Chain A
Amino acid sequence: MSAQHLVEAICALLLVIGASFALIGSWGLVRLPTLMERLHGPTKATTLGLGGMLLGSMLFFQLSRGTWSAHELLISLFLFLTAPVAANLIAKVHLHRLRASENPEAVSAAGMPPPVPGDADWATYEAPHPGTPAATSEADPSPADRPKR
């Protein structure tokens, strides 16, 4: 077996592994009980799925075609940056629906989210307290009286 065949076999293996993880992630989306559980499929299983496919693509262009391709690295970087944000926003919408609607199907299999210890509520329900790390720029004190770090 020549080196060319070996490279192609490794790339093919990576593609199949990646595709399997993407499939498992999608299957999780179908079979897990409620929204919050379903969120775990696309945020994790799919990450390695895409990672495997991109690694296969990078190896193929590098070893088989001899051209250097860096776009795969960027795609995975942007994926790692955006996946948690998307999951967070979907979770926040879910939290809103829990309090706003009477639809009992909306409750997660884990039950209602617990209250925050202390006198604050979750930031989805209550404006962030100024001067804390949760504060957004609008709620922040003006730059002049912000404490220096």
Chain B
Amino acid sequence: MRRLIPHPGLSVLLVVIWLLMANSLSFGGLLIGIVIGIALPIYTAPFWPGRPDVRYRAAIAYCALVLWDIVIANFDVARLILFRRNRDLRPCWLVVPTDLTTPEAITVLAGTISLTPGTVTADISACGRHLLVHALDAPDPAAEVARIKARYEARLKRVFL
């Protein structure tokens, strides 16, 4: 079973995406979706040597939080673009130390930072313990780093075991 379906979450996701792409719920479509959902993870297994332990309930709650933050982020950045003069803007670099140890968790954290208020992830350190983040407007860089760690990293620790 473990060899046939190495990544059950990925398989389910592929079936759902296939059905959404077909835009209809038919038996034939479901069958092809299941074949793809089983075959693709097997053929791409070399890319996914480890198997991250994901708590699905925490993951869904995290997605909801990030979606909400994306909406807020859009209004924030739109306000900065429209009403803040360039010389009043305080852009700066942040170094975010991270305690996350799996590549998957760090990737999700970096992606979240890029999608949420005024921050873009630029790089990761060669040792994998720091993220380089560019903030569009951060009067207090230390507070911004603390906010990222408390809001996203702490929750991701509960999503990825």
Contact = CB atoms under 8 A, between A and B. Distances in A.
B77 interface: yes
Contacts of A70: 20-21, 23
Interface residues of A, number: 66
B124 A122 contact: yes
A134 B120 contact: no
B45 to A, nearest CB: 11
Shortest beta-carbon contacts, A-B, top 7: A134-B128, A48-B74, A84-B114, A91-B122, A132-B128, A28-B81, A120-B127
Contacts of A126: 126
Contacts of A127: 126
Interface of B (DSSP majority class): mixed
Contacts of B103: 133-134
B127 to A, nearest CB: 4
Nearest to B113: A84
Interface of A: 21, 24-25, 27-28, 31-33, 36-37, 39-41, 43-45, 47-49, 68-71, 73-74, 77, 80-81, 83-85, 87-88, 91-92, 94-95, 108-111, 113-114, 116-129, 132-135, 137, 140, 143, 146, 149
Contacts of A116: 95, 125-127, 130, 132
